[in-house]
Amino acid sequence: MPVVDSTRQHPTSRIPVVAASTAFFLSCMDVLIVNLALPTIGEQLGGGMSGQQWVVDGYTLPFAALLLGAGNLSDRLGAKRVFAAGSALFLISSLICTFAFTMPMLIAGRAIMGVGAAALLPSSMSVIRENYPDPVEQGQAMGYWAFGGTIAAVMGPILGGLLTPIHWSLVFAINIPACLLILVLIPKMQTSERRSAPFDFAGQILAIVGLGALVAGLIEGGEQGFASVLVVSLLAIGVAALAMFAVAECHARHPMMPPSTLRSYDMRVSMLIGLVFMVAWYGMVFLTTSLLQNELGLSPFMSGLAFIPSAFAGMIGNLRSPGIATAHGTRVPVVGGLIAMTAGLTTMALLGSHLNAWSAAILVAVVGCGCSFVTPPTSSLVLRSVAPEQSGIAGAMFNTMRQVGSTLGIAVFGTLVASMSSFTSAMRICFLATAALLLITLGLSIRLEHNPSNITANRRIADHVAVD
């Protein structure tokens, strides 16, 4: 008779998905909520524009640079343990930021927060994989997880606008009850298995250097332009280190990112989807915010309200797409979502100077709805495309591509707007170029698995072939 693990939650338990969705919400919200508080922080703590920039980049850089390493640790030490460590770091860093009385103290707190976010994101996906092994329940759980990120993208600027006038520290204090909730729920989750394997020091170092330099180059490129010596140097270091990382992983006996994770066509296309649709979403949010505030003269708070319809549209997609993927296969909601994103961005480009607050809100909602039909099934596909013991690194790879995509969208769009005399012309070029990228991704997505059950079967066959 098989032994039943008494620590395992009943499949219908909502505890793991609540904890994982809250963690995804926090890690995404803290990219955005601080932006409106930066001028006030600068007035009270000093540091000038450089200090304000590091309040943002101090979070973004370690977040992106440590994702792959955190995903590997999640597979080695167990997703639950890494998830708990990330939650604790996020709580501690939120307390440091809340009570910071100097700019260096605040930046240090934000850096620790970035480390916590890097630990939270891939382990949250693994937590869902472990606690919801049934494909249908796993897909539904990924829908709720993705919805956490959708709400964060909308609520971050709104909460920043509401809390900053009371006191800037509240944009960090709001994290504390959410972190406590996660820490209370974690003991009720299924225990994760440890997997002993030699530590891949070379891979870890090269991944941190490569991703850190690449993201830093993209950030600085948005500020200084991509012809800057510093930017070119950072990008060159990043690309070289990542190339060395790829070679090292192919020859390592125990690689942190096994090359077999990219053997599947579905996995490779999922990585591309994660990159391109984040370029589209964050680039669009950046340009739409500039349109509303700088071109139409709306206040930051009123500009934030224009994104609320996209939250409701995103709720529809995040909750409906898992069921569609289960019934018709992953490619149906993914292709449909990419079509909606392409149509929304193309329409915004064609309207150009005729865009107003109402039409912008509607079209942002169309793009947001498209995103929400793409994220849950693609995230589930990533987890199903690899062996269970590789779910942490697979989630880290997917979220690394997302992080690079969001940084790339803002940096390139911002550089193009700054270099052109006409905002409308720059916006049209950005949106049409992104729509073209989405169309290419859409074409590749048509070949994604039609029947979700075939993915697991094909992966098992591939695993047996690899073992033989």
CA distance linking residue 193 with residue 65, whole number of Å = 25
67-77 and 201-224 helices, crossing angle to 10°: 150
Tell me which of 3.40.50.20, 1.10.1470.10, 1.20.1250.20, 1.10.10.10 is the CATH number of domain 10-192: 1.20.1250.20
Tell me the residue type at 276: V
User: Do the two domains 10-192 and 260-468 of this chain adopt the same fold?
Assistant: yes
Average pLDDT over residues 429-455: 82
Band of residue 389 on the pLDDT scale cut at 50, 70, 90: confident
Residue 455 has pLDDT above 60, yes or no: no
Residues 6+ apart with CB under 8 A from 331: 445, 446, 447, 448, 449, 450
Split at pLDDT 50, 70, 90, the class of 399 is: confident
pLDDT at 96: 96
pLDDT at 388 over 90: no
Q: How far is CA 30 from the centre of its chain?
A: 12
CA distances from residue 166 to 144, 161, 175, 364 in whole angstroms, order as listed:
31, 10, 16, 29
**What's the whole-number average pLDDT of the chain?**
83
Cα separation, 388 vs 398, whole angstroms: 15
Residue bearing the bigger pLDDT, 409 or 272: 272
Q: Domain residues of the chain, as ranges?
A: 10-192, 260-468
The residue ranking higher by pLDDT, 183 or 144, is 183
Task: Kindly state the DSSP code that residue 197 receives in the 8-state scheme.
Answer: -
Which 3 state secondary structure label does DSSP give 101? coil
Mean pLDDT to the nearest integer, 58-84 = 85
Compute the distance between CA of residue 430 and CA of residue 450 in angstroms, rounded to an integer: 32
pLDDT in tens, 165-220: 889 999 999 999 999 999 999 998 877 777 776 677 788 888 888 888 888 888 77
Among 93-102, 201-210, 389-398, 457-466, where is mean pLDDT lowest? 457-466
- Cβ neighbours of residue 246 closer than 8 Å, sequence gap 6 or more: none
Rounded to an integer, what distance in angstroms lies between the CA atom of residue 390 and that of residue 229? 38
d(CA 301, CA 170): 16
Cα 220 from chain centroid (whole Å): 20
Residues 6+ apart with CB under 8 A from 406: 31, 278, 279, 281, 282
Confidence band of 458 (pLDDT split at 50, 70, 90)? very low
What letter would DSSP give residue 250?
H
Out of 60-69, 189-198, 259-268, which region has the weakest mean confidence (pLDDT)? 189-198
Q: CATH number for 260-468: choose from 1.20.1250.20, 3.40.50.2300, 3.10.590.10, 3.40.50.300.
A: 1.20.1250.20
- Is residue 93 a contact partner of residue 113, using CB atoms and an 8 Å limit? yes
Cβ-based burial of 433 (10 A; exposed 0-12, middle 13-18, buried ≥19): middle
Percent over 70 (pLDDT), the chain: 92
Q: CA nearest 401: which of 382, 418, 420? A: 382
Q: Locate tokens 């919200």: which residue?
A: 29
Give the CA distances from residue 158 to residues 36, 52, 90, 301, 410, in Å, rounded to whole numbers and listed in that order. Answer: 9, 19, 21, 6, 19
The structure tokens listed for 409 are 């969208």
Q: What is the DSSP letter of 294?
A: I
Spacing of C-alpha 93 from chain mean position: 20
Number of residues that this document lists for the chain: 468
Residue 346 confidence (pLDDT) above 90: yes
Which residue has 């996995």 as its token pair?
A: 267
Query: 259-268, 289-298, 458-467: lowest mean pLDDT where?
Result: 458-467
Average pLDDT over residues 223-250: 87
Residue 88: what pLDDT? 96
The share of the chain scoring above pLDDT 90, in percent, equals: 28
**What average pLDDT does the segment 256-268 reach?**
84
State residue 451's pLDDT score. Answer: 59
Spatial CA neighbour of 337 closest among 304, 379, 291: 379
pLDDT at 356 over 50: yes
pLDDT at 116 over 50: yes
* Predicted pLDDT of residue 459: 46
The first and second tokens of residue 455, run together, are: 């993915």
pLDDT (average), residues 306-318:
84
Q: What is the pTM of this model?
A: 0.79
CA 335 to CA 85: how far, in whole Å? 37
Q: Are 28 and 149 in contact (CB under 8 A)?
A: yes
Residue 231, CA atoms < 13 Å, CB-side half-sphere: 14
Is pLDDT larger for residue 336 or for residue 308? 336
> What pLDDT is recorded for position 397?
85
Confidence category of residue 288, pLDDT binned at 50, 70, 90: confident
The residue assigned the tokens 């942002």 is: 364
| pLDDT of amino acid 5 | 44
The residue behind tokens 């934030």 is 304
Q: How many CB atoms lie within 10 A of CB 467?
A: 6
Q: Which range is least confidently modeled, 61-65, 373-377, 421-425, 449-453? A: 449-453
pLDDT average, residue stretch 70-88: 88
452 pLDDT tier (thresholds 50, 70, 90): low
For 318, the token pair is 């995040």
Q: What is the pLDDT of residue 449?
A: 67
Q: What is the pLDDT of residue 163?
A: 87
> CA–CA separation, 395 vs 70, rounded Å?
10
Question: Residue 227 corresponds to which tokens in the numbers above?
Answer: 């012809």
pLDDT band at 462 (very low <50, low <70, confident <90, very high): very low
Q: Per-residue pLDDT averaged across 294-313, rounded?
A: 81
The pLDDT of residue 387: 79
CA distance 45 to 301: 23
pLDDT of residue 450: 61
Asked if residue 211 lies in contact with residue 242, where contact means CB atoms within 8 angstroms, the answer is yes
